[in-house]
Protein backbone atom coordinates (compact mmCIF):
# COMPACT_ATOMS: atom_id res chain seq x y z
CA UNK A 1 0.00 0.00 0.00
CA UNK A 2 1.51 3.29 -1.11
CA UNK A 3 0.17 6.41 0.59
CA UNK A 4 1.73 9.58 -0.79
CA UNK A 5 -0.68 11.92 1.06
CA UNK A 6 -3.34 12.24 3.74
CA UNK A 7 -5.88 15.05 3.34
CA UNK A 8 -8.22 16.84 5.75
CA UNK A 9 -11.24 18.88 4.74
CA UNK A 10 -11.76 20.54 8.11
CA UNK A 11 -14.68 22.93 8.35
CA UNK A 12 -16.51 24.51 11.26
CA UNK A 13 -18.97 21.67 11.75
CA UNK A 14 -17.24 18.55 10.44
CA UNK A 15 -13.98 16.92 9.47
CA UNK A 16 -13.46 14.65 6.49
CA UNK A 17 -10.22 12.71 6.12
CA UNK A 18 -8.81 11.12 2.96
CA UNK A 19 -6.09 8.57 2.42
CA UNK A 20 -4.71 9.03 -1.09
CA UNK A 21 -3.14 6.36 -3.26
CA UNK A 22 -0.97 6.76 -6.32
CA UNK A 23 -2.10 9.42 -8.78
CA UNK A 24 -4.35 10.94 -6.17
CA UNK A 25 -7.02 8.29 -5.99
CA UNK A 26 -8.95 8.40 -2.70
CA UNK A 27 -8.38 4.94 -1.24
CA UNK A 28 -10.22 5.54 2.02
CA UNK A 29 -12.37 8.35 3.42
CA UNK A 30 -13.57 9.07 6.94
CA UNK A 31 -16.19 11.48 8.22
CA UNK A 32 -15.93 12.79 11.78
CA UNK A 33 -18.21 15.23 13.59
CA UNK A 34 -15.28 17.32 14.87
CA UNK A 35 -15.52 20.73 13.21
CA UNK A 36 -13.47 23.66 14.46
CA UNK A 37 -16.50 24.85 16.44
CA UNK A 38 -17.23 21.41 17.85
CA UNK A 39 -14.22 19.47 19.04
CA UNK A 40 -13.70 16.42 21.26
CA UNK A 41 -12.00 16.67 24.63
CA UNK A 42 -8.38 17.13 23.67
CA UNK A 43 -9.26 19.64 20.98
CA UNK A 44 -7.72 19.81 17.54
CA UNK A 45 -4.89 17.43 18.43
CA UNK A 46 -7.28 14.72 19.56
CA UNK A 47 -9.54 15.17 16.51
CA UNK A 48 -6.44 14.97 14.29
CA UNK A 49 -5.32 11.70 15.87
CA UNK A 50 -8.76 10.18 15.43
CA UNK A 51 -8.89 11.31 11.79
CA UNK A 52 -5.58 9.73 10.73
CA UNK A 53 -5.51 6.86 13.22
CA UNK A 54 -3.74 3.83 11.77
CA UNK A 55 -2.86 5.53 8.51
CA UNK A 56 0.76 5.61 7.21
CA UNK A 57 3.18 8.41 8.04
CA UNK A 58 2.59 10.45 4.89
CA UNK A 59 2.44 14.25 4.71
CA UNK A 60 -0.92 15.63 5.88
CA UNK A 61 -2.53 18.58 4.06
CA UNK A 62 -5.59 20.36 5.47
CA UNK A 63 -7.90 23.12 4.26
CA UNK A 64 -10.83 24.97 5.81
CA UNK A 65 -11.63 26.59 9.12
CA UNK A 66 -8.78 24.68 10.79
CA UNK A 67 -6.63 27.59 9.51
CA UNK A 68 -8.89 30.36 10.76
CA UNK A 69 -8.63 32.51 13.85
CA UNK A 70 -10.18 30.24 16.44
CA UNK A 71 -8.92 27.28 14.39
CA UNK A 72 -5.85 25.20 15.20
CA UNK A 73 -3.42 27.70 13.74
CA UNK A 74 -4.29 30.94 11.93
CA UNK A 75 -2.98 31.02 8.36
CA UNK A 76 -2.98 34.42 6.61
CA UNK A 77 -5.29 34.88 3.63
CA UNK A 78 -4.08 35.44 0.09
CA UNK A 79 -5.75 38.46 -1.53
CA UNK A 80 -7.61 38.22 -4.83
CA UNK A 81 -6.91 38.29 -7.68
CA UNK A 82 -5.03 35.10 -6.84
CA UNK A 83 -3.76 32.42 -9.19
CA UNK A 84 -4.50 29.06 -7.62
CA UNK A 85 -0.94 27.78 -8.05
CA UNK A 86 0.00 30.30 -5.33
CA UNK A 87 -1.82 28.24 -2.71
CA UNK A 88 0.99 25.66 -2.79
CA UNK A 89 3.61 28.33 -2.04
CA UNK A 90 1.74 29.70 0.95
CA UNK A 91 1.21 26.62 3.11
CA UNK A 92 1.76 26.93 6.84
CA UNK A 93 3.28 23.90 8.56
CA UNK A 94 2.79 22.98 12.21
CA UNK A 95 3.73 20.00 14.37
CA UNK A 96 0.93 17.55 14.96
CA UNK A 97 0.61 14.49 17.24
CA UNK A 98 2.41 11.26 16.43
CA UNK A 99 5.44 13.09 15.10
CA UNK A 100 3.45 14.09 12.05
CA UNK A 101 3.51 17.47 10.34
CA UNK A 102 0.36 19.24 9.24
CA UNK A 103 0.39 21.61 6.27
CA UNK A 104 -2.51 24.06 6.06
CA UNK A 105 -3.79 25.72 2.87
CA UNK A 106 -4.41 29.48 3.16
CA UNK A 107 -7.86 30.93 2.55
CA UNK A 108 -8.62 33.74 0.12
CA UNK A 109 -9.65 37.32 0.83
CA UNK A 110 -11.41 39.65 -1.60
CA UNK A 111 -10.49 43.19 -0.49
CA UNK A 112 -13.47 44.62 -2.39
CA UNK A 113 -15.97 43.17 0.12
CA UNK A 114 -14.07 42.60 2.20
CA UNK A 115 -14.93 38.93 1.97
CA UNK A 116 -13.16 35.74 2.96
CA UNK A 117 -13.24 32.01 2.25
CA UNK A 118 -11.48 28.98 3.72
CA UNK A 119 -11.81 25.58 2.12
CA UNK A 120 -13.66 26.70 -1.00
CA UNK A 121 -10.34 27.77 -2.62
CA UNK A 122 -9.26 24.12 -2.46
CA UNK A 123 -12.61 22.97 -3.83
CA UNK A 124 -12.15 25.40 -6.73
CA UNK A 125 -8.59 24.16 -7.34
CA UNK A 126 -10.01 20.64 -7.58
CA UNK A 127 -12.74 21.68 -9.99
CA UNK A 128 -10.39 23.53 -12.31
CA UNK A 129 -8.01 20.57 -12.40
CA UNK A 130 -10.91 18.31 -13.40
CA UNK A 131 -12.34 20.81 -15.86
CA UNK A 132 -9.39 22.77 -17.32
CA UNK A 133 -11.66 24.56 -19.79
CA UNK A 134 -13.12 26.54 -16.88
CA UNK A 135 -9.73 27.95 -15.88
CA UNK A 136 -9.66 30.62 -18.53
CA UNK A 137 -13.08 32.06 -17.71
CA UNK A 138 -15.86 30.90 -15.39
CA UNK A 139 -18.60 31.92 -13.00
CA UNK A 140 -18.94 29.53 -10.08
CA UNK A 141 -21.44 29.07 -7.28
CA UNK A 142 -20.64 26.96 -4.21
CA UNK A 143 -23.99 26.92 -2.39
CA UNK A 144 -24.31 26.14 1.31
CA UNK A 145 -24.57 27.70 4.74
CA UNK A 146 -22.47 30.52 3.31
CA UNK A 147 -22.87 30.48 -0.48
CA UNK A 148 -19.86 31.66 -2.43
CA UNK A 149 -20.22 33.34 -5.83
CA UNK A 150 -16.86 33.28 -7.57
CA UNK A 151 -15.33 34.67 -10.74
CA UNK A 152 -12.40 32.88 -12.37
CA UNK A 153 -10.29 34.43 -15.08
CA UNK A 154 -6.95 33.25 -16.50
CA UNK A 155 -6.34 30.60 -13.79
CA UNK A 156 -7.02 33.10 -11.02
CA UNK A 157 -9.89 33.74 -8.63
CA UNK A 158 -10.55 37.39 -9.42
CA UNK A 159 -13.29 38.04 -6.87
CA UNK A 160 -16.03 36.49 -4.78
CA UNK A 161 -19.05 37.30 -2.63
CA UNK A 162 -20.47 35.35 0.30
CA UNK A 163 -24.24 35.25 0.73
CA UNK A 164 -25.47 33.78 4.00
CA UNK A 165 -28.57 32.17 2.50
CA UNK A 166 -28.27 28.80 4.24
CA UNK A 167 -27.63 30.30 7.65
CA UNK A 168 -30.39 32.88 7.19
CA UNK A 169 -32.83 30.09 6.35
CA UNK A 170 -31.76 28.09 9.40
CA UNK A 171 -32.10 30.95 11.92
CA UNK A 172 -35.45 32.08 10.49
CA UNK A 173 -36.75 28.51 10.50
CA UNK A 174 -35.60 27.78 14.04
CA UNK A 175 -35.84 31.09 15.85
CA UNK A 176 -38.32 33.45 14.14
CA UNK A 177 -42.09 33.72 14.05
CA UNK A 178 -41.96 32.20 10.55
CA UNK A 179 -40.87 28.87 11.97
CA UNK A 180 -43.29 28.91 14.90
CA UNK A 181 -45.87 26.10 14.95
CA UNK A 182 -44.42 24.33 11.93
CA UNK A 183 -44.08 20.55 11.85
CA UNK A 184 -40.58 19.14 12.39
CA UNK A 185 -38.46 17.85 9.55
CA UNK A 186 -38.07 18.81 5.93
CA UNK A 187 -41.06 18.20 3.69
CA UNK A 188 -39.00 18.59 0.51
CA UNK A 189 -42.01 20.08 -1.24
CA UNK A 190 -40.85 21.08 -4.72
CA UNK A 191 -44.01 23.00 -5.56
CA UNK A 192 -43.81 25.07 -2.36
CA UNK A 193 -40.17 25.78 -3.18
CA UNK A 194 -41.13 26.88 -6.71
CA UNK A 195 -43.86 29.08 -5.26
CA UNK A 196 -41.29 30.78 -3.04
CA UNK A 197 -38.96 31.39 -5.99
CA UNK A 198 -41.86 32.88 -7.94
CA UNK A 199 -42.85 35.11 -5.02
CA UNK A 200 -39.25 36.29 -4.88
CA UNK A 201 -39.27 37.06 -8.60
CA UNK A 202 -42.55 38.94 -8.25
CA UNK A 203 -41.03 41.10 -5.52
CA UNK A 204 -38.83 42.57 -8.24
CA UNK A 205 -36.24 45.12 -7.23
CA UNK A 206 -37.68 45.36 -3.71
CA UNK A 207 -36.24 41.93 -2.98
CA UNK A 208 -37.61 38.96 -1.11
CA UNK A 209 -37.09 40.34 2.40
CA UNK A 210 -40.19 42.42 1.71
CA UNK A 211 -42.09 39.16 1.13
CA UNK A 212 -40.81 37.15 4.13
CA UNK A 213 -43.82 37.97 6.25
CA UNK A 214 -46.15 36.76 3.49
CA UNK A 215 -45.12 33.21 4.45
CA UNK A 216 -46.79 33.84 7.79
CA UNK A 217 -49.85 35.56 6.31
CA UNK A 218 -50.37 32.81 3.71
CA UNK A 219 -50.20 30.16 6.41
CA UNK A 220 -52.63 32.02 8.66
CA UNK A 221 -55.22 32.18 5.94
CA UNK A 222 -54.79 28.56 4.92
CA UNK A 223 -53.24 29.30 1.53
CA UNK A 224 -49.95 27.64 2.52
CA UNK A 225 -49.87 24.39 4.50
CA UNK A 226 -47.68 24.51 7.63
CA UNK A 227 -45.67 21.64 6.18
CA UNK A 228 -44.93 23.77 3.07
CA UNK A 229 -43.74 26.93 4.84
CA UNK A 230 -40.08 25.86 5.15
CA UNK A 231 -39.76 25.04 1.43
CA UNK A 232 -41.58 28.25 0.49
CA UNK A 233 -39.13 30.18 2.65
CA UNK A 234 -36.20 28.32 1.07
CA UNK A 235 -37.47 29.27 -2.40
CA UNK A 236 -37.92 32.88 -1.36
CA UNK A 237 -34.36 33.15 -0.03
CA UNK A 238 -32.67 31.26 -2.86
CA UNK A 239 -34.67 33.29 -5.37
CA UNK A 240 -33.46 36.43 -3.67
CA UNK A 241 -29.87 35.19 -3.74
CA UNK A 242 -30.15 34.75 -7.51
CA UNK A 243 -31.68 38.22 -7.90
CA UNK A 244 -28.75 39.62 -5.94
CA UNK A 245 -26.25 37.66 -8.02
CA UNK A 246 -27.76 39.07 -11.22
CA UNK A 247 -27.81 42.63 -9.86
CA UNK A 248 -24.17 42.40 -8.82
CA UNK A 249 -23.13 40.59 -12.03
CA UNK A 250 -22.06 37.36 -10.35
CA UNK A 251 -24.60 35.66 -12.60
CA UNK A 252 -25.59 36.63 -16.10
CA UNK A 253 -28.24 35.41 -18.50
CA UNK A 254 -25.49 35.09 -21.13
CA UNK A 255 -23.02 32.80 -19.37
CA UNK A 256 -23.81 29.61 -17.47
CA UNK A 257 -22.95 29.44 -13.79
CA UNK A 258 -21.18 26.26 -12.68
CA UNK A 259 -22.70 25.02 -9.41
CA UNK A 260 -20.52 22.81 -7.19
CA UNK A 261 -21.83 21.06 -4.12
CA UNK A 262 -24.16 18.47 -2.66
CA UNK A 263 -26.57 16.97 -5.17
CA UNK A 264 -29.81 17.95 -3.42
CA UNK A 265 -28.76 21.54 -2.88
CA UNK A 266 -27.43 21.87 -6.44
CA UNK A 267 -30.77 20.55 -7.70
CA UNK A 268 -32.61 23.25 -5.76
CA UNK A 269 -30.43 26.02 -7.22
CA UNK A 270 -30.86 24.60 -10.73
CA UNK A 271 -34.63 24.51 -10.25
CA UNK A 272 -34.64 28.13 -9.06
CA UNK A 273 -32.38 29.23 -11.91
CA UNK A 274 -34.70 27.59 -14.41
CA UNK A 275 -37.70 29.45 -13.00
CA UNK A 276 -35.77 32.71 -13.35
CA UNK A 277 -34.62 31.99 -16.91
CA UNK A 278 -30.98 31.49 -15.97
CA UNK A 279 -28.63 28.80 -17.18
CA UNK A 280 -26.86 26.89 -14.39
CA UNK A 281 -24.85 23.67 -14.71
CA UNK A 282 -24.17 21.32 -11.82
CA UNK A 283 -20.93 19.59 -10.97
CA UNK A 284 -22.23 16.99 -8.57
CA UNK A 285 -20.19 15.92 -5.60
CA UNK A 286 -17.37 17.64 -3.82
CA UNK A 287 -14.05 18.41 -5.45
CA UNK A 288 -12.16 19.17 -2.25
CA UNK A 289 -10.21 15.90 -2.11
CA UNK A 290 -9.01 16.42 -5.64
CA UNK A 291 -8.05 20.00 -4.78
CA UNK A 292 -6.00 18.86 -1.80
CA UNK A 293 -4.14 16.45 -4.06
CA UNK A 294 -3.48 19.21 -6.63
CA UNK A 295 -2.10 21.59 -4.03
CA UNK A 296 0.05 18.84 -2.49
CA UNK A 297 1.54 17.93 -5.85
CA UNK A 298 2.28 21.58 -6.64
CA UNK A 299 3.92 21.94 -3.21
CA UNK A 300 6.08 18.84 -3.80
CA UNK A 301 4.60 17.21 -0.71
CA UNK A 302 4.05 13.97 -2.60
CA UNK A 303 7.59 13.75 -3.99
CA UNK A 304 9.18 10.42 -3.25
CA UNK A 305 5.77 8.85 -2.93
CA UNK A 306 4.54 9.20 -6.48
CA UNK A 307 6.41 6.09 -7.64
CA UNK A 308 5.94 3.44 -5.01
Of 51, 75, 49, the C-alpha closest to 63 is 75
Q: Residue 54, interface with a copy of itself (CB under 8 A)? A: no
- Comparing CB distances to a copy of itself, the nearer of 27 and 74 is 74
Tell me the closest approach of the beta carbon of residue 69 to a copy of itself, in angstroms: 6
- Comparing CB distances to a copy of itself, the nearer of 60 and 108 is 108
Distance CA 156, CA 151 (A): 8
Q: Residue 50, interface with a copy of itself (CB under 8 A)? A: no
Which of 115, 187, 198, 279: binder of a copy of itself (CB under 8 A)? 115
Q: Residue 264, interface with a copy of itself (CB under 8 A)? A: no
Cα–Cα distances in angstroms (integers) from residue 96 to residues 99, 101, 213, in the given order? 6, 5, 50
Q: Residue 281, interface with a copy of itself (CB under 8 A)? A: no
Distance CA 289, CA 6 (A): 10
Q: Residue 163, interface with a copy of itself (CB under 8 A)? A: yes
Q: Residue 39, interface with a copy of itself (CB under 8 A)? A: no
Which of 244, 265, 267, 270: binder of a copy of itself (CB under 8 A)? 244
Q: Residue 151, interface with a copy of itself (CB under 8 A)? A: no
Q: Residue 226, interface with a copy of itself (CB under 8 A)? A: no
Q: Residue 273, interface with a copy of itself (CB under 8 A)? A: no
Tell me the closest approach of the beta carbon of residue 59 to a copy of itself, in angstroms: 28
**Binding mask of the shown chain, residues 62 to 101, with x at each position contacting a copy of itself by CB under 8 A:** -------xx-------------------------------
Which of 31, 206, 281, 306: binder of a copy of itself (CB under 8 A)? 206
Report the largest interatomic distance among the alpha carbons of the chain, rounded to a whole angstrom. 69
Which of 101, 176, 191, 252: binder of a copy of itself (CB under 8 A)? 176
Which of 92, 93, 158, 162: binder of a copy of itself (CB under 8 A)? 162
Distance CA 100, CA 146 (A): 32
Tell me the closest approach of the beta carbon of residue 63 to a copy of itself, in angstroms: 17
Q: Residue 278, interface with a copy of itself (CB under 8 A)? A: no
Tell me the closest approach of the beta carbon of residue 265 to a copy of itself, in angstroms: 18
Q: Residue 167, interface with a copy of itself (CB under 8 A)? A: yes
The site for a copy of itself (CB under 8 A) is made up of: 69-70, 109, 113-116, 146, 161-164, 167-168, 171-172, 174-178, 181, 203-207, 209-214, 216-218, 220-221, 223, 240-241, 243-244, 247-248
Amino acid sequence: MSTPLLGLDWGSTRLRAFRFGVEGRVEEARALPWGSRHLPEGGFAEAFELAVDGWPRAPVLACGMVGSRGGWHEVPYLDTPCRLERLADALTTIDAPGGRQLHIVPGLRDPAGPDVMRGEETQIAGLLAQRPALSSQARLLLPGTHSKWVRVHDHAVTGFNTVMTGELFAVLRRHSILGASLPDGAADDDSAFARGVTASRNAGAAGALSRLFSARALMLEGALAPSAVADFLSGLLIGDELRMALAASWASPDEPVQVIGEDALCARYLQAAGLLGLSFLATPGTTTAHGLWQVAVAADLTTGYACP
